[in-house]
């Protein structure tokens, strides 16, 4: 695979990839490093890369990079949803990322990942299905289950 194709795919998706990494890692700086790691990983594997769907490969790689960065930094998932107040608008990126991660912590990871790809990277369900190698109907169902679980939890907390 030639370098120009990799660069062009990265350029096309860069803002979506960046947003995904920012909110997953809860840090702009970590997100920048994660994207740089992704680029270097792609370039270094260039001679042996045989990819049919470049976009799916990029998102899967970035997801793995984020997971290992979170593990290395021993960054614990945010789970204390009880004190949450959804009426209070987040004032900055940090508050927004914290709120989103707390809400996503109450649902299974496979549902959270679909919600991230849909809302943070603005991908279609078809794209997400290709990235996760799942049927589109499963992706749509899991997305809705995820939202519904969060809705029920917030109802229990009298937030909606």
Partner 1 sequence: MEDELKQIEGLLTPKFNRECPDYIYTNHVRKPAVSVWWKKVVGAAAMIAVIFTVGFAAFYTPAINAEEVVKTSFQNFVRADTYKASFFLLATPSGDDEIYKIAPDGNRVEGTMYMKYVDDTPMVRFEWNDDKHTVVIYSGGKYLCYKNGQLTARHDSSPILNLKEITNLSTAELLADKTKLEKSITENGDKITLSTMCKDIMVIAEFSADNKRMIKVGAKLNDVKFMETETIEYGINLPDSLFE
Q: Please, what is the minimum distance in Å from the beta carbon of residue 121 to partner 1?
A: 10
CA-CA distance, 154 to 82, in Å (whole number)?
9
Per-residue tokens: 98: 């914290």
Q: Please, what is the minimum distance in Å from the beta carbon of residue 10 to partner 1?
A: 6
CB atoms within 10 A of CB 81: 18
Subset of 32-91 contacting partner 1 (CB under 8 A): 32-33, 35-37, 39-40, 43, 86, 89-91
CA-CA distance, 141 to 153, in Å (whole number)?
18
Q: Which residues of 37-47 are buried (b: 16+ CB within 10 A; e: fewer)?
A: bbbeebeeeee
Among 65, 104, 117, 132, binds partner 1 (CB under 8 A): 104
- Write out the residues near partner 1 by the rule CB under 8 A: 7, 10-11, 14-15, 17-19, 22-23, 27-29, 31-33, 35-37, 39-40, 43, 86, 89-93, 96-97, 99-100, 103-104, 115, 119-120, 144, 147-148, 150-151, 154, 160
């Amino acid at each position: 695979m030639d370098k120009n194709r990799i660069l062009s795919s990265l350029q096309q998706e860069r803002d979506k990839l960046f947003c995904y990494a920012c909110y997953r890692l809860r840090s702009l700086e970590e997100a920048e490093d994660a994207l740089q790691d992704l680029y270097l990983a792609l370039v270094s594997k260039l001679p042996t890369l045989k990819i049919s769907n470049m976009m799916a490969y990029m998102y899967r790689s970035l997801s793995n990079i984020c997971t290992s960065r979170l593990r290395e930094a021993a960054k614990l998932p945010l789970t204390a949803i009880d004190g949450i107040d959804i009426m209070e608008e987040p004032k900055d990126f940090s508050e927004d990322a914290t709120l989103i991660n707390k809400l996503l912590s109450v649902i299974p990871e496979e549902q959270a990942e679909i919600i991230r790809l849909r809302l943070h990277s603005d991908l279609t369900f078809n794209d997400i299905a290709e990235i996760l190698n799942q049927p589109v109907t499963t992706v749509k169902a899991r997305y809705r289950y995820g939202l519904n679980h969060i809705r029920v939890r917030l109802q229990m907390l009298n937030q909606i």
